[in-house]
Amino acid sequence: GSEAMVKAGRSKKRRSGRQRVSRKNKIVRPVVTDRSLKKVWDEKLPPAENLKRVGLNFNVNGEFGRKSTKKGPKLVAETLQEVTFAEIPASDSLDVDRNPRRRPMSEEDQRYIAKQMKKHGKDYKAMFMDIDTNVMQYTEAKLRKMASRFLLLEGAQRLIPVPSEVAEESS
């Protein structure tokens, strides 16, 4: 540059093609084109006031929008009619393997908990502490839940047999 000893930052600002923008926020009044509206429209008043004078609503949501949840008569038990439901069949009569892909417990999980139960029976604390069999580091509660789900499996759902150690305990 031709200027001597100018600060680097300033010349960088000058060289950059980016212009700094400052804008005044101008409030744009709506342009009224309707003849009948133009007669009663007062430029000095805000649009909401003007519309109110004509009989229109400026904010539609303000009038009809959010209603209070408090108002309105309290529902009394007598006013409610009794609803009768159709008889629902017991879950036993439903086809267990209707959707073969949807299983209450994956084969992997069944194998995992069966291995644990073979070694520790129903001692979930021991299962939880055993780093060899509990490779997933499941908590005591998680193991208990898995075991109870595993023992409840029936028919086609059971992919891994219940270990003899546990079968003897539960019977």
SS3 assignment, position 162: coil
Q: Please give the pLDDT value at position 24.
A: 83
Single-letter residue type at 44? K
Q: Please give the pLDDT value at position 91.
A: 58
- pLDDT for 22-69, tens place per residue? 888 887 777 888 888 888 888 888 888 888 888 887 776 766 655 666
Q: Please give the pLDDT value at position 77.
A: 60
Q: Please give the pLDDT value at position 93.
A: 55
DSSP symbols for 12-75: HHHHSSPPP-----PPPPPPP--HHHHHH--TTS-HHHHHHHHT--S-HHHHHSPPPSS-SPPP
How far apart, in whole angstroms, are the C-alpha atoms of residue 147 and residue 78?
47
| pTM beyond cutoff 0.85 | no
- pLDDT for 109-159, tens place per residue? 999 999 999 999 999 999 999 999 999 999 999 999 999 999 998 888 888
Do the Cβ atoms of 119 and 132 come closer than 8 Å?
no
- pLDDT for 145-165, tens place per residue? 999 999 998 888 888 899 887
pLDDT class for 80, splitting at 50, 70, 90?
low
